[in-house]
Structure 1
Amino acid sequence: MRHLHKGVSFAIGLAVLGASLAACGGGGSSGGSGGQIELTIGTFTEFGYESLLPEYEKLHPDIKITHHKTGEGGPYHQNLITKLAAGSGLEDVVAVEEGHFSDIVDKGGKFNDLTEIGPKDVTPERWLKWKYDAGKDSDGRLIGYGTDIGPLAMCYRRDLLQQAGLPSDPEGVKALFSSWDSYFAAGQSYTRKTGKPWFDASSQLYNSMINQLDVGYFDHDNKLTVESNPGVKAAWDRVTTAIGQGQSAKLVAFGNEWKTGFAQGAFATTVCPSWMLGVIKEDAGPGNAGKWVVSDTFPNGGGNWGGSYLTVPKQSQHPKEAAELAAWLTAPEQQLKAFQAKGNFPSQTQALTSPELLNQTDPYFGDVKIGQLYAEQARKVTKAQYKGPGDGQIQENVTSPALQAVEQGKSPAEAWQQVVDGAKKIAK
């Protein structure tokens, strides 16, 4: 899941990509009133829309937009479900994070089919195929336009690996990060030599491993697979074994000690979806510039963690205009600007081939071509894992606390039963 998209400053000189900024926006109709149509949009954490929404208003003088932006995604999505059940209170355009998108899939009838009300020139080819397909409800209706994605890479402290006598250049670490077996073997070596943790938080690794599975916590019939899916338990056993070997820094992801850990070198590696780069830069600080490096090799090939969709609930009084706004915000031109503002990596095929994206480097991470690296990682994902209702809640409220319990001394077997029991309660 995407957590906090902290401030990222990528100096990208954006081009228009040969298309008009308003090409996919159309012109919001006045509704026959002769006055402005008022649209509302609801988002959480950082989408990079602060400058885009005023731009849209300038392009569409008959549209006035009110942006409702909240912090953490958990409470935001709980509120969304409450308003869906009440039948009122939702914005015209509502952002939904991919980990919580499953919670509304069985409520697809409460959202507009964007292929019916959206601009006709917005075709599936705009997006990576797996991103587009994951925006459909259980009946195959497109209820979400894709915003960003979170292709997976691995970030590591070059200096700490050097001190442990491990390969530290981008080519050398490929052998360390080629599989989960090699990753944890390197971690065991690092911990034995230094007495220090290899990774930051067990939940970060576990979530990434689960996202790589063909089937996650639910199958396509929305049947809970936690007990029957061998991949889920295998990931649990691998991560908890590494905890027992002292490889985990035992930090709570996105907590204050975790943030401080980046600055203090409390761990040598961290799972690095594209949005994590901004978190590292902010939390590690300028004093650690050049120490962190991002590798284009991720254990077992890669995957996706994060990203969202823009939906238009049937509660909207202006669904056509809302769909036009959502379409414009998810056009490649705007997604590149969102990347510039907040580091949200585009899911649009045209954006992924843009020279402005592909040529972008960042000295903080060793002058690696960040845009090209993550574009290539994104293409390694061939399909989106199906996530049944409650998937995001299981990750946030069940598996992460259970792994933290193991880090604090609870046996893996007892904590696994905690996972099974907790997942069953959510899946009811």
Structure 2
Amino acid sequence: MKKAKYLALTLVSIILIGSPAAFGANNNSGNIAADKYTGNNTASANAPTSGEKNTEPEAKVKLTFWTMGDMNYEELANTYMKEHPNVTIKVQNTGDTNAHHNKLAAAFSAGSGTPDIFQLEAGFMEHYLGVQDKFYNLNDLGAKDIQTDFLKWKWKQASSVDGSFQLGLPADIGPTVVYYRTDLAEAAGLPGDPEGFSAAIDTWDKFAAVAKDFKEITGKYFSDLTDLTFNALRDQSVDEIYFSRTDGTFFGDTNPYVKRAYDFTVKGIQEGWISNSEIWSPEWEQGMNDGSFAVVIGPAWLAGKIKSSAPDSSGKWRIAQLSEGVGNWGGSFITLPKEGKHPKEAYEFIQWLVNKENQLESFKTKGLIPSTPALYEDPAFADFKDEFFGGQQTAVEFGKAANRVKWVYYGPLHDKADTFFKNALRNVSEKKADPAKEWNYAVKQAKTLAPPG
């Protein structure tokens, strides 16, 4: 009998997990790298040592905080320490996302060396929910009281099945949108304005028809990649994608959303409106700049990648809403490993770190899309205009997309299974392989990942 406990990973299995393509990227003043949290080297923040002017000064507390990449968390920690002189927060920043999480897994295995506070990338969440006993349950520290401040789907990503255990507080997110070239759209007779373009592709049938016509009129590709096209439909699955959250069984072959995503992408390949470039490749980046394709379907953080890859096309891009539904790729949570000796003080800090005001600051300084929906109507967020996107209020579009996301379970084996289907599509595109045979082989491989009977 297949058991739910199969999903609880050992510490050894967590080490060296992850795939570079599973993570997002941080929009750093409009200029980002391919990996979401690639950024600074180790940095630390030192606090004042004087106590607050109380009748009884509070005990000194030292906290360590491991972060990823080019965040503004060091600056926020400095601000917090000025307001809480009894607290010292040492921020250690790791540039590589995999190395960051492997370092924590190694500390868990060794039984020592974990930080008080750890920034956890969303793509790793299911791995660490499998060893939730290594973390403080934030519900025990008061997290339930602030749950309604955050997007429901984002909160649920860090929750146990019954919701009793909360592993992390929501930080940034990566809702999916459609980036498109207005010059190419208008050359094919499509609306150049975001509302009109969104309406033109608001179902996948309409998307495919527009894409086919676009290729016939312009001779160019409509969509940039097989991977991102497949992702967009795959992530519209209801509740689960490849694996059951209850017992870990594979059911991707009978999930109609996975089959639809596969067949739709095959259709784009065969009709010639999906480029055969690979994600993060020089050809993909060049295609953004020279107009080899009209559309890039991707998360909010990809805006920075487009800016850095396509400087010559500034002002020609806009952001529209995705057909039928929205997925999320990337983002992070703030967690408290259980080895930490000061959970109360650590929780007080992380609750402050992800509040509405500080998520707005993270957006303004680093482009991190907030997980607090109250900000989406706040003029300080909504009025932001991006000249690269023709002065469009891009934050408004990201907020619309974030509110359309529905929670879906990925599971610790998602990336491995997903790779089989991506390889199948690549074979269809590059080798003209038979789509049905490639699908069957991908399913056969994915089934080997499921727990034994």
Normalised TM-score (structure 1):
0.85
Answering whether residue 178 of structure 2 is matched by residue 157 of structure 1, we say: no
CA distance in 2, matches of 1:330, 1:343: 14
SS of aligned partner of 2:319: strand
What residue in structure 1 maps to residue 331 of structure 2? 307
> Which sits farther off after the overlay, 158-167 or 55-64?
55-64
Give the 3-state SS of the residue equivalent to 2:67 in structure 1: strand
Deviation at 1:406, TM superposition (A): 3.3
Of the three residues 113, 134, 150, the one matched with 1:127 is: 150
Shift of the alpha carbon at 1:426?
4.4
Residue in structure 1 matched with residue 171 of structure 2 by the alignment: 147
Matches within 5 A, 1:353-364: 353-364=377-388
Q: 1:112 pairs with 136, 141, 163, which one?
A: 136
Contact 2:129 2:160 (C-alpha < 8 Å) held by counterparts: yes
Residue 361 of structure 1 aligns to a residue whose secondary structure is coil
The correspondence for 2:365, drawn from 328, 334, 341, is 341
Note if 1:3 corresponds to 2:24.
Answer: yes
Moved more, 397-406 or 343-352: 397-406
Deviation (angstroms), 1:159: 0.6
Q: Aligned partner of 2:255: which letter?
A: N
Counterpart selection for 2:307 from 268, 272, 281:
281
Deviation at 1:6, TM superposition (A): 3.9
Contact 2:235 2:326 in 1 (8 A): no
Higher RCO, 1 vs 2 (CA within 8 Å, ≥6 residues apart):
1
CA distance in 1 between counterparts of 2:68 and 2:284 reads: 22
The 1:168–1:288 alpha-carbon spacing in structure 2 relative to 1, beyond 3 Å, is same
| CA drift at 1:80 | 4.0
1:416 maps to amino acid = W
Residue identity opposite 1:420 in structure 2: V
- CA distance 1:70–1:399, shift in 2 (3 Å): farther
Provide closer, same or farther for how the CA distance between residues 414 and 317 of structure 1 changes in structure 2, counting only shifts above 3 A.
farther
Separation (CA, whole Å) in 1 of partners of 2:269 and 2:111: 45
Displacement of 1:384 in angstroms is 1.0
SS in 2 for 1:51: helix
Name the stretch that deviates more: 397-406 or 157-166.
397-406
Offset, 1:421: 4.4
**Corresponding residue SS for 2:200:** coil
Q: Encode CA deviations 1:37-94: one digit per residue, 9 max, x unaligned.
A: 3322223344432422322232233333333333443454445444444433432222
RMSD: 2.8
- Which position in structure 2 is the counterpart of 1:21? none
Q: How far apart, in 1, do the equivalents of 2:253 and 2:223 lie?
A: 27
Number of the residue aligned with 1:263? 289
SS at match of 1:151: strand
1:169-318 to structure 2, matched below 5 A, reads: 169-214=193-238, 215-221=240-246, 222-285=248-311, 287-295=312-320, 297-318=321-342
Q: What is the deviation of 1:349?
A: 3.0
> 1:107, CA displacement in angstroms?
1.7
CA 81–257 in structure 1, closer or farther in 2 if over 3 Å, else same: farther
Alpha-carbon separation, structure 2, partners of 1:198 and 1:362: 24
Distance 2:292 2:371 in 1: 33
Whether contact under 8 Å (1:154, 1:272) holds in the other structure is yes
Classify 1:394/1:308 alpha carbon distance in 2 versus 1 (closer, same or farther; 3 Å): farther
Equivalent residue in structure 2 for 1:389, among 383, 394, 412: 412
Percent identical residues = 33
- Conservation of the 8 A alpha-carbon contact between 1:92 and 1:316: yes
Give unmatched runs, 5+ long, in structure 1: 11-26
Q: What amino acid is aligned across from residue 158 of structure 2 in structure 1?
A: G
Q: Tell me how far apart the structure 2 counterparts of residues 124 and 316 of structure 1 sit (CA, whole Å).
A: 23
Q: Deviations over 1:153-204 (max 9, x none)?
A: 2110011122223332223313332012211221111122222221222111
**Which whole-Å CA distance do the structure 2 matches of 1:420 and 1:83 have between them?**
36
Deviation, 1:364, is 1.6
User: CA, structure 1 residues 34+109, in 2 after alignment: closer, same or farther (shift >3 Å)?
Assistant: same
Native 8 Å contact 2:24 2:331 kept in 1 = no
TM-score (norm 2): 0.81
Q: Which residue of 2 aligns with 1:330?
A: 354
CA distance in 2, matches of 1:228, 1:87: 42
Q: Give CA deviations for 1:341-382 in whole Å, capped at 9, x if unaligned.
A: 22111111332332201121212212222222222222223x
- Contact map agreement 1:108 1:138 (CA 8 A) in 2: no
1:403 aligns with 2:428: no
Q: Is the partner of 1:368 in helix, strand or coil?
A: coil
Structure 1, residues 260-305: CA drift from partner, whole Å, max 9, x if none? 32222221101142212222122211x312101111x311133333
Stretches of structure 2 lacking an aligned partner (at least 5 in a row): 1-21, 32-50
